[in-house]
Amino acid sequence: MKFPDDVSDDVLNRLRRAEGQLRGVQRLLEEGATCQDVVTQLTAVQSALHRTGLRLMAAGMRYCATDPVRAEDEGMTATQMEELFLKLR
Provide the CATH number for the domain around residue 47. Answer: 1.20.58.1000
Terminal CA-to-CA distance of the chain, rounded, Å? 22
Q: Which one, of 9, 8, 87, 2, lies nearest residue 50 by Cα?
A: 87
What is the tally of structural domains in the chain? 1
Contact 9, 79 (CB under 8 A): no
Q: Which one, of 42, 72, 47, lies nearest residue 60 by Cα?
A: 72
**In the prediction, which pLDDT does 78 show?**
79
Q: What percent of the chain has pLDDT over 70?
A: 99
**In the prediction, which pLDDT does 64 show?**
79
Average pLDDT, the chain: 91
Q: Which domain holds residue 35?
A: 5-87
